[in-house]
Amino acid sequence: MTDTPNHTRRHSAPVVDGVGKAASRAMLRAVGFNDADFQKPQVGVASTWSMVTPCNSHIGELAEQAREGADAAGGKGVIFNTITISDGIANGTEGMKYSMVSREVIADSIETVAGCEGFDGLVAIGGCDKNMPGCVMGLARLNRPSVFVYGGTIMPGKGHTDIVSVFEAMGAHSRGDMDLIELKQIEETAIPGPGSCGGMYTANTMASAIEALGMSLPGSSAQNAISQEKRDDCKAAGEAVLELLARDIKPSDIMTRKAFENAITVVIALGGSTNAVLHLIGMARTIGVELTLSDFTEIGKRVPVVADLRPSGHYMMSELVALGGIQPLMKNLLEAGLLHGDCLTVTGQTLAENLANVEAYPDDQKIIAPLDKPIKTESHLRILYGNLAPEGAVAKISGKEGTRFSGTARVFGSEEEAQARINDGTVVAGDVVVIRYEGPKGGPGMREMLTPTSAIMGRGLGNDVALITDGRFSGGSHGFVVGHVSPEAFDGGPLALVENGDLITIDAEADTIEVQLSDEELATRRAAWQQPAPRYTRGVLAKYARLVSSASTGAVTDQSE
């Protein structure tokens, strides 16, 4: 019952120290604490384990490893759970509206549990798109010594398939190019076990970004979900929190402006997901760092795309894991002057110190191109502005689609409506598919459009149809796609005023997105426009719609202003 101050027990000491906290200790004894444990720093282990999705189905065991690591280093590990949802399962349904909402719920729940229980430090383990930024945002709000751990990537399915292979097979079937037997074979074998989706989709993108940010131990972003390396990573994370506590190193010391620039640089070099734009801006706002869409443009001018990874490339994350992950790439970027080497990381060392002894990729590898012979000389993430997106929109242009598309609008008020018209052949070459009222407020929840983009690819229209939306895209989406159009249609953004047959031009070199209408015509249409009624008036979706910011500012609900 010590009352001795200890900076490593800044938050747990008021909960368990002294005669007046006997009731607290009594409760904790029932879950495994003993006298010695009350004098140890408490390390909360936020587990996203769930049977909901293969991305997280193995994380329960990994959380135990992190707890053991914290205990071995002299702390007391305490596991608690937060939620996850599955984008891959919910895609194309009303349930997908809960996806972006879940990021906020996860951040809220980690803050709630750790704030209530008085944990001194934290490990958070995430394995799917929204629970990774959600975990980091929760850690940032608390600002206690913390480490994020990625749950790891899945292995390829039979025939080098993955979840996107299934979505695109569905499109091929609707076109008549694949029979049900072949579709079922892909369905049965594409997802062989636990782990996050296998390409440079949003999960692997965010894992890489968080490692580059300095909030994960080196190598955490590039390990197979079921591997001894991943188990060791979790145990080391538990141990690392005790060192961070001893040195009083907090997320605010690590998640600096320069660290976010490093994260953006790595995302671009890897050809990562457009969702990284939303999440990095959201994470930065949470820790109090100014980060805007223009930062992606400026950094993109000097950083090339060098990774030949899916969805636009050929290889999967597990194949990059076998080559050494992203550490050799980061060393190349550092030596080229494209990373800030002086950024502090959760190792307690700088990024440059972490990378000092990293070995280069094998000479014969084909996944990561040399920086002087890149796949694309500038960023694939293009921030577009124009009379359709005064506050910006985000495109992922690999270059294979071309850099300019001009076509006539085919307008839909929901993802379902667009999907039906893609499947029945209404959408044809030369169309710009407009899917609106799917933004953060209008959806609500900003659904990702993997189902319609995959259907377009599956029907062989990938080079002939563009798709724009105030919703967003899966990291697995590819083709000529533009999302995050802001302001969104529900708020009266120009996307709400587009009509069938309007000429739309997307230029990824000039970074513009325009509808060929005069200001006078847009004003006339705006005067006649009426905001639709909210789709939800009760529950978490209604609450989210009332609180959420624009996609251009990260679609966050925790706003200071």
**Annotation-wise, does 129 bind a ligand?**
yes
Cβ contact 161:314 at 8 Å: no
Gap between the Cα atoms of 301 and 428, Å rounded:
34
**DSSP type of residue 236:** H
Whether residue 511 is annotated as binding a ligand: the answer is no
The answer to whether 417 is a known ligand-binding residue is no
CA 38, 39, 40 angle in degrees (round to 5)? 95
Tell me whether strands 121-126 and 42-47 are parallel, antiparallel or unpaired.
parallel
* 55 assigned binding-site residue: yes
| DSSP designation for 193 | S
Its sign, for the CA torsion 242, 245, 251, 257, is negative
CB atoms within 10 A of CB 57: 18
Distance between CA atoms of 319 and 323, rounded to whole angstroms?
7
Using the 8-state DSSP alphabet, how is residue 386 labeled?
E
454, containing H or E segment: helix 450-458
Neighbouring C-beta atoms of residue 249, cutoff 10 Å: 21
What are the two backbone dihedrals, phi and then psi, of residue 556, each rounded to the nearest 5 degrees?
A: -100, 155
Q: Which of 12, 220, 474, 550 is catalytic?
A: 474
Question: Which residues touch 47 (CB under 8 Å, ≥6 apart)?
Answer: 59, 60, 62, 63, 79, 80, 81, 82, 125
Cα gap 49→59, rounded to integer Å: 5
Q: Is 312 a catalytic residue?
A: no
Please, what sign has the CA dihedral across residues 89, 94, 95, 98? positive
User: Which residues of 215-371 form beta strands (DSSP E)?
Assistant: none
CA 303 vs CA 264, 326, 332, 402, 527: distances in Å: 9, 15, 12, 19, 43
Binding annotation for [2Fe-2S] cluster: 55
Binding annotation for Mg(2+): 87, 129-130, 448
Residues annotated as catalytic are 474
Binding annotation: 55, 87, 129-130, 448
